[in-house]
């Protein structure tokens, strides 16, 4: 973590931060790395307790020292946790939770979400997810878990595309959500943040990826390719 005055989020983390509202008692910056997102939320969402979670002991220790220096507990509400997300127990922390999981693959992200949902059945949980790849696999798991979609977006940063998925547990949420689809809907719509040309590029890259994988397992991959090809894009 840099000094507070020099802390600047990249486009991807800024897009995630901008979706976070004041509705949460607890915000979990999972796989937090250097803690930039969580630190930004300490300033922008002071009502919530911000939790920094990572599996690397040394990283969490160093982060805790820097947080204590720049965000003293006399003025800010935060905790650090060194643990596997699959073991996360939310019961000691009453209230509504937002778990942000970014910077990991979609399959690992799906594993985390599944474990957290199943081990915290009565918790009021929402997730903000931004995997680095395997988006289809993640979406399939979210559908299986019967989660609802609050928002989805496509971000281009440093020539890499990222999908952002904001989802909730339907039975514990007062927010109206939509059905999650395995290939997305809104991410294919042009808006102020992403152009039609960029969206077409993302589609081409996605199809090329699965066409390569099709050589290994045609029966499994062909339906995925067909699902993406069914989307109608602007030229």
Domain boundaries, the chain: 4-183, 195-235
The 78-82 sheet, strands edge to edge: 78-82, 49-54, 26-30, 97-102, 125-130, 160-169, 147-157, 178-179
pLDDT score for 6:
45
Domain 4-183 has CATH 3.40.50.150: yes
- Provide φ and ψ at 76, rounded to 5°: -130, 155
CA distances to 65, 132, 156, 184 from 115, rounded to whole Å, are: 29, 20, 29, 23
**Residues sharing a CB contact under 8 Å with residue 143, sequence separation 6 or more, in sequence order:** 180, 181, 182
Which residue carries 């699902």 as its tokens?
A: 227
Give a three-class secondary structure readout of 161-209.
EEEEEEEEEHHHCCCCCEECCCCCCHHHCCECCECHHHHHHHHHHHHHH
pLDDT score for 173:
61
pLDDT score for 8:
79
pLDDT score for 57:
93
pLDDT score for 32:
75
Tens of pLDDT along the chain (235 residues) come to 555 544 679 999 999 999 999 999 999 999 877 899 999 999 999 999 999 999 999 999 999 999 999 999 999 999 999 999 999 999 999 999 999 999 999 999 999 999 999 999 999 999 999 999 999 999 999 999 999 999 999 999 999 999 999 999 877 666 677 999 999 999 999 999 999 999 999 999 999 999 999 988 899 999 999 999 999 998 7
């Amino acid at each position: 973590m840099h000094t507070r005055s020099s802390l600047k989020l990249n486009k991807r983390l800024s897009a995630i931060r901008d979706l976070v509202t004041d509705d949460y008692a607890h915000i979990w910056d999972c796989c937090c790395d250097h803690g930039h997102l969580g630190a930004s939320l300490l300033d922008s969402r002071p009502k919530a307790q911000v939790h920094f979670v990572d599996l690397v002991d040394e990283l969490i220790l160093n982060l805790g020292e820097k947080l204590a220096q720049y965000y003293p507990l006399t003025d800010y509400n935060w905790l650090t946790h060194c643990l596997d997300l699959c073991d996360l127990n939310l019961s000691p922390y009453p209230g509504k939770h937002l778990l942000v999981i970014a910077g990991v693959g979609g399959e690992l992200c799906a594993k985390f979400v599944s474990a957290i949902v199943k081990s915290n059945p009565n918790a009021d949980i929402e997730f903000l997810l931004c995997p680095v790849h395997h988006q289809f696999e993640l979406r399939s798991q979210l559908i299986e878990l019967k989660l609802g979609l609050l928002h989805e977006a496509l971000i281009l940063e440093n020539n890499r595309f990222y999908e952002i998925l904001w989802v909730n547990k339907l039975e514990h949420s007062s927010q109206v959500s939509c059905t999650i689809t395995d290939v997305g809907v809104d991410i294919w719509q042009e808006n102020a943040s992403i152009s039609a040309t960029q969206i077409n590029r993302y589609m081409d890259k996605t199809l090329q990826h699965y066409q390569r994988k099709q050589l290994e397992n045609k029966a499994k991959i062909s339906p995925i390719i067909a699902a993406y090809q069914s989307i109608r894009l602007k030229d």
